């Protein structure tokens, strides 16, 4: 590290400790770009997706981001500062090496999938409305705690089947979303009402990811009985107990980071869910850190080394939705999800069909059947669609109302409803 760069980093740390994050960001960006420390020019944040070739500054920097984060527990060599009364402060001062590492990993960006790649998508810039709850239905606020942590969640109980629902769908939202937003945008509650389903919407905590993304790329959150999979599974089991549901009627689905986490849940808990729906997500084991996550999102990578799968190798029935024009998660990731979920061996059959949605989007639907003729994988590639829930309602973020209705098609696939 040369003297100019080290000087710039020390200036950035001083600005950060003074809570002047915007100026700290400017100093660091100038240093990474090779500009002089004394250069006082201002610059606007880069909101373009990382380019596959020029990677000297691979992550966009958010001038409003916090460099001082609430810790889950003090690190051994970085004890929490004490405040009056002897309680631990919610802020930790980070040394120079930690500040640099934070920037390198992109944690000052918006978080995975949290950048503004999709400005202009229908629903991304609109005020989110609360989902409409029909008379007799409930949209309950609940929470769950286990040794891995705590999460709150919303639970939709349909008026059509308040006591004996037909099944459960666990819906995992994307980055910068929350359960209310996700419910409004996907319209899943209305589908649940029609089919008599309960829907759970776990809420990712901003304290566990600055952009409220599920941490699908961290090894500790890719294992059974560990981290976020353990919490989501615990929520699922609680609801199953409450309504007397068995595995054959329990499903998991998600969008973007939530879709990637749905893939994690399908691989780590195949004994808990009978099918998964993955929209604009990534295959289990695609990444094991932030760098490999961005690489996979660009479509540059395959599977990361050493994903921890269950020994039985069970493949969950899976339905996949992907936009061909997605600039956040490259469509090749959908191919990897399908390849991982598809049955192998003699007797498997593949069928393809094309169509046009009521909103005008052309799609290709690929169905992979197992040797018994039962659909094991269904893949919808929607032409011209971006990083958004297909057929969603514009009252939610990251929705594309012009595409085929992903919510209806997922539930149809989950329940194996004949067309």
- Cα 45 → chain centroid: 23
Domain extent, residue 29, equals 1-43+56-66+94-109
The end-to-end CA distance of the chain, in Å, is: 63
Q: Could you tell me which residues come within 8 angstroms of residue 172 by beta carbon, excluding any fewer than 6 positions away? A: 202, 214, 232, 252, 253, 254, 255, 257, 258, 259, 261, 262, 265
In a domain, 302, yes or no: yes
Instruction: Give the model confidence (pLDDT) of 154-166 as tens digits.
Output: 999 999 998 899 9
- Helix or strand run (H / E) with residue 251: strand 250-255
- pLDDT score for 91: 36
SS3 label, residue 207: coil
- Give strand ranges (E) for 25-177: 138-146, 149-157, 167-172
In a domain, 132, yes or no: no
Under the banding of pLDDT at 50, 70 and 90, the label for residue 8 is confident
Q: How far is the C-alpha of 16 from the C-alpha of 42, rounded, in Å?
A: 17
Report the chain's C-alpha Rg in angstroms: 22
- In 244-289, where does DSSP find H-type helix? 257-268
Of all residues in the chain, the percent with pLDDT exceeding 70 is 68
Q: How far is the C-alpha of 102 from the C-alpha of 100, rounded, in Å?
A: 5
| More confident site: 418 or 313 | 418
Q: Which two tokens stand for residue 106?
A: 């992109």
- What CATH number is given to the structural domain containing 253? 3.40.50.1820
Residues 101 and 216 in one domain: no
In a domain, 174, yes or no: yes
In a domain, 84, yes or no: no
In a domain, 295, yes or no: yes
Residues 206 and 281 in one domain: yes
What's the total number of domains in the chain? 2
Residues 188 and 319 in one domain: yes
Q: How far is the C-alpha of 367 from the C-alpha of 180, rounded, in Å?
A: 32
Residues 62 and 25 in one domain: yes
Q: Does residue 313 have a pLDDT over 60?
A: no
Q: How far is the C-alpha of 246 from the C-alpha of 310, rounded, in Å?
A: 20
> Across all residues in the chain, what is the average pLDDT?
79
In a domain, 370, yes or no: no
In a domain, 175, yes or no: yes
Instruction: Give the model confidence (pLDDT) of 227-280 as tens digits.
Output: 999 999 999 999 999 999 999 999 999 999 999 999 999 999 999 999 999 999
Q: Residues 111, 211: contact at Cβ < 8 Å?
A: yes
In a domain, 274, yes or no: yes
Instruction: Give the model confidence (pLDDT) of 174-216 as tens digits.
Output: 999 999 999 999 999 999 999 999 999 999 999 999 999 999 9
Q: Residues 243, 198: contact at Cβ < 8 Å?
A: yes
Q: Which two tokens stand for residue 63?
A: 């001038």
Residues 98 and 199 in one domain: no
């Amino acid at each position: 590290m040369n003297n100019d760069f080290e000087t710039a980093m020390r200036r950035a740390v001083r600005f950060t400790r003074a809570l002047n994050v915007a100026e700290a960001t400017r100093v660091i960006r100038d240093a990474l770009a090779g500009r002089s420390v004394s250069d006082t020019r201002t610059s606007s944040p880069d909101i373009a997706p990382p380019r596959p070739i020029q990677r000297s500054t691979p992550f966009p920097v958010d001038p409003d981001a916090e460099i001082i984060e609430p810790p889950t527990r003090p690190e051994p060599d970085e004890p929490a500062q004490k405040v009056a009364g002897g309680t631990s402060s919610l802020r930790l001062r980070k040394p120079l090496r930690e500040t640099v590492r934070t920037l390198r990993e992109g944690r000052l960006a918006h978080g995975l999938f949290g950048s503004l790649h999709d400005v202009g998508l229908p629903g991304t810039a609109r005020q989110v409305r609360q989902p409409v709850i029909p008379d007799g239905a409930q949209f309950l606020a609940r929470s769950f705690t286990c040794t891995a942590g705590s999460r709150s969640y919303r639970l939709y109980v349909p008026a059509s089947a308040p006591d004996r629902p037909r099944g459960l769908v666990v819906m995992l939202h994307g980055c910068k979303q929350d359960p209310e937003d996700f419910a409004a945008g996907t319209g899943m509650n209305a589908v649940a009402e029609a089919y008599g389903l309960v829907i759970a919407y776990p809420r990712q905590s901003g304290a566990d990811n600055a952009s409220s993304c599920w941490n699908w790329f961290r090894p500790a959150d890719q294992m059974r009985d560990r981290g976020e999979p353990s919490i989501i599974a615990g929520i699922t089991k609680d609801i199953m107990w409450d309504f007397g549901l068995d595995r054959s009627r329990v499903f998991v689905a998600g969008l973007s980071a939530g879709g990637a986490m749905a893939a994690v849940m399908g691989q780590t808990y195949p004994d808990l869910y009978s099918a998964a729906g993955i929209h604009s997500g990534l295959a289990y084991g695609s990444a094991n850190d932030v760098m490999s996550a961005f690489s996979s999102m660009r479509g540059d990578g395959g599977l990361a080394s050493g994903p921890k799968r269950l020994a039985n190798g069970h493949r969950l029935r899976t339905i996949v939705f992907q936009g061909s024009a997605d600039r956040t998660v490259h469509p090749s990731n959908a191919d990897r999800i399908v390849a991982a979920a598809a049955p192998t061996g003699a007797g498997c059959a593949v069928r393809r069909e094309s169509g046009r949605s009521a909103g005008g989007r052309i799609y290709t639907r690929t169905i992979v059947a197992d040797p018994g003729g039962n659909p094991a994988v269904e893949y919808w590639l929607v032409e011209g669609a971006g990083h958004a829930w297909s057929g969603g309602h514009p009252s939610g973020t990251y929705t594309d109302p012009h595409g085929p209705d992903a919510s209806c098609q997922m539930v149809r696939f989950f329940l194996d409803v004949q067309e």
